[in-house]
Amino acid sequence: MSDSTSYQDLARRYGFAPKLESASRLTQLVARQDSDVDEIVKVINKDAALRDRLLRVANPDAENAAEYSIETVEEALMRNGVGCAMVLAMGTPLALSLIKTFLTMLSLKLESIDRNLAEPLESEHLLGTIGFSGKVVGGVYLRMNLASAQAIAAGILGLSPDEMQDVGEIRDTAGELLNIMTGNFKSNLCDAGLDCKLHPPEVKLSTDSQAPVVPGGGLERMAFRSEKIQLFVDVAANPWNDG
Amino acid sequence: MATKILSVDDSRTIRLIVGKAFRPYEVQLCEAANGEEGLATAAREKPELIILDVTMPVMDGVTMLTKLKEDAELKAIPVIMLTAESGRDNVLQIAKLGVRDYLVKPFKEEQLIEKVGRIVPLQKKPAA
């Protein structure tokens, strides 16, 4: 029995959720480095959400699709690079993992929102970071206001927000949230041949909400909201660790 | 008599969630924050089941599992992996070492109880 058959058997036995086809396929293609760009274009065109995000990123000054000067995936790849497309593709499973984590552990429905429409972060906010390094290098960054962090920690531990005053527990919960989100992210990278290791999460108070920069890499910036919580997630990665 | 379970996870959050899940049951829960502590606690407490994280400082879950399976006194203790990582190589390596089940985070408390209940007896505490 091949390793891949064995893995599929185990995944069924353990009840794993299926992985996103476009993210896995795109990561595999990017990991090969010698892939035909036409293959990459085909994969992106099959995933409407990914295609839309790539075009949005390629037209940073446009307010809507009618104003796009770059209208095709090929042009967008030429402008932003294949690495950028991969980072955007990897953002999807990361976003789904975050939404699933909130639904599973907090019974809270998070929605993905346009980052420009989100309420701005308070000057001092909680910043959680997990770096990864290996064949791919980068980081996942989670930011939230302190009230959101307190509400999340209380919800996960089954307490009321007023009972959740321990800053250490609030930080630990934010760190675990990052661990859960990025575990899936890392699994996708490793399965595609981009072996990497996660660094332990770091959670701290920060006043800096600048976009993270990974030399030679791409960036995906996302925002999520529920009734009482707002979160910002950045993914910055260089898929070839050549920065 | 309470079922003795060892939870090995560096996250206090996860240990608290696991503790909350077992609160309605006759379970004696022991805790450890890394593989090294986990091995020492397993040797001392002889739990009936170990719930084990993968990525931990000091000693990770894969190393702890390897050492556990090399120990004649501890190797029969069933292990459930509780981790956010479900990458192919990790899962295959862990399966070869010998685990009874694998639960990917995020998880619902009921999923944990169901998987544990398939391996060791879980008796509800009498209503107060």
Residue A206 lies in a domain: yes
How many Cα atoms occupy the beta-carbon half-sphere of A230 within 13 Å? 13
Which residues does chain B have with pLDDT short of 70? Answer: 128
The predicted model scores a pTM of: 0.83
pLDDT of A1 > 90? The answer is: no
Sign of the Cα pseudo-torsion (A190, A194, A198, A203, in order):
negative
- A-chain CB neighbours of B56 within 8 Å are none
Rounded-to-integer distance, Cα B93 and Cα B71, Å: 18
pLDDT, mean of residues A20-37: 72
> Could you tell me which residues are beta bridge partners of residue A204?
A127
Which is more confidently placed, A11 or A203?
A203
**pLDDT, mean of residues A112-133:** 88
How distant is the alpha carbon of residue A145 from its chain centre?
A: 19
A96 Cα to chain B: minimum distance (Å):
12
Number of domain units in chain A? 1
Residue A243 domain flag: no
- Per-residue pLDDT, A16: 78
Q: What are phi and psi of A207, to 5 degrees?
A: -115, 5
Decide if A32 is inside a domain. Answer: yes
Confidence of residue A120 (pLDDT cuts 50, 70, 90): confident
Q: In sequence order, what are the beta bridge partners of A12?
A: none
pLDDT of amino acid A225: 93
Separation CA A179–CA A75 (nearest Å): 35
Range of the domain at A176: 3-238
Report pLDDT digits (tens) over A58-115. Answer: 898 888 889 999 999 999 988 888 878 878 877 877 888 888 888 888 888 999 888 8
Q: Please, which residues 89-118 of chain B have a Cβ atom closer than 8 Å to chain A?
A: 89-92, 95, 101-108
CB atoms within 10 A of CB A173: 29
Q: Which residue of B has its CA nearest to A196?
A: B87
Q: What number is the ipTM of this complex?
A: 0.78
CA–CA distance, A15 with A242 (Å, rounded to integer): 37
Is the CB of residue B63 less than 8 Å from the CB of residue B35?
A: yes
**Chain A residue with minimum CA distance to B18:** A157
Domain assignments of chain B as residue spans, ordered by start: 3-116
Specify the CATH architecture of the domain B3-116.
Answer: 3-Layer(aba) Sandwich (3.40)
CATH no. for residue A24? 3.40.1550.10
In B, which residues are within 8 Å of A4 by CB distance? Answer: 88
Q: How many CB atoms lie within 10 A of CB B126?
A: 6
CB pairs under 8 A between A and B: 89
Separation of alpha carbons B14 and A147, rounded Å: 21
Longest CA pairwise span in chain A (Å): 56
pLDDT at residue A184 greater than cutoff 80: no
For chain A, percent of residues with pLDDT exceeding 70: 93
* Of A101, A206, A97, the residue nearest B13 (C-alpha): A101
Residues of A in contact with B16 (CB under 8 A): 157
Q: Are B74 and B68 in contact (CB under 8 A)?
A: yes
Q: Cβ of A7 and B55 within 8 Å?
A: no
Query: What is the spatial distance between Cα A185 and Cα A181, in angstroms, rounded to a whole number?
Result: 7
Nearest CA in chain A to B105: A180
Does pLDDT of A31 surpass 80?
no
State residue B44's pLDDT score: 97
Which tokens hold the place of A27?
A: 């990561």
Residue A4: band (very low, low, confident or very high) from pLDDT cuts 50, 70, 90: low
Which residues of chain B lie closer than 8 angstroms to A158, CB-CB? 20
H or E stretch at B4: strand B3-8
What is the residue type of A89?
A
Residue A123 lies in a domain: yes
